[in-house]
Amino acid sequence: MKITEDQRKRIADIAVRHGLDVVLLFGSGVTGREHALSDLDVAVRTTGPDLGYSGYARLLEDLQDVFLGREVDLSFINRADPLFLKKILEHCELLHGDAGKLRELKIYAFKRYQDHRRFFEMERAYAKRFAEMAGDPGEGGGK
């Protein structure tokens, strides 16, 4: 998705108002796999305390106003689990913030993912075993 200069300025104003130091576009808006009904995946990092429900609603409303006609799917980098954080930062576009902070975030996300990788692999192996057992009536599973 092409972000206009006017949209970038409005996003910068929103970031200041809501205490955001990083605003990213990720997902299909960056990968080029958008279709007519695609939403816009936006991730933000807050610099202060949690925004709470009303702060979240105001931020979402402000972002919706920037991207009229598009649904915004808002995620908080501060709360993202290691796998989701890695996915956000693999393919993203910086809409607001310092490029140096984005580099730091990418390094942090990679390290955090590596720290949790063995747990993801254990979870994947468990899910595979469970699926195999559920599909095999002789193993106590079945339909």
Is residue 105 a contact partner of residue 22, using CB atoms and an 8 Å limit? yes
22, 94 Cβ separation under 8 angstroms: yes
User: Per-residue pLDDT for the chain (143 aa), expressed as one digit of tens each?
Assistant: 789 999 999 999 999 999 999 999 999 888 888 777 789 999 999 998 888 899 999 999 999 999 988 899 999 999 999 999 999 999 999 999 999 999 999 999 999 988 878 877 888 888 888 888 887 555 555 55
Residue 16 CB neighbour total at 10 angstroms: 11
pLDDT at 141: 52
Predicted local confidence at residue 136, as pLDDT:
57
CA distance 66 to 10: 7
- Closest by CA to 40, choosing from 80, 2, 74, 7, is 74
Name residues whose C-beta falls within 8 Å of residue 116's C-beta, 6 or more positions apart in sequence.
82, 83
23 bridge partner residues: 44, 96
Q: What is the pLDDT of residues 97-106, one digit of tens each?
A: 999 999 999 9
The residues with which 26 forms a beta bridge, in sequence order, are: 41, 92
